[in-house]
Amino acid sequence: MFGLDKMFDFDRNGRLDVMEKASRAAFLTQMMEEEEKRKKKNKYDDDEED
């Protein structure tokens, strides 16, 4: 298991069940949406900062 998988393995059995996979997917989706909003709000990417 990798970092995020361990974070969402709520019952600590070493495998992600359906609910755990759904939680991980929802978390990643929300993070990506927030990142897109942040990029739209800022006119410059983080990579272009001096």
pLDDT in tens, 3-29: 888 999 999 999 999 999 999 999 999
The residue with greater pLDDT, 15 or 46, is 15
Q: What is the pLDDT of residue 12?
A: 93
Q: How far apart are CA 2 and CA 26, in angstroms?
A: 17
pLDDT of residue 41: 86
Q: pTM for this one?
A: 0.71
Tell me which H or E stretch contains 31. helix 18-41
Query: What integer pLDDT is reported at residue 46 of this predicted model?
Result: 56
pLDDT at 20: 95
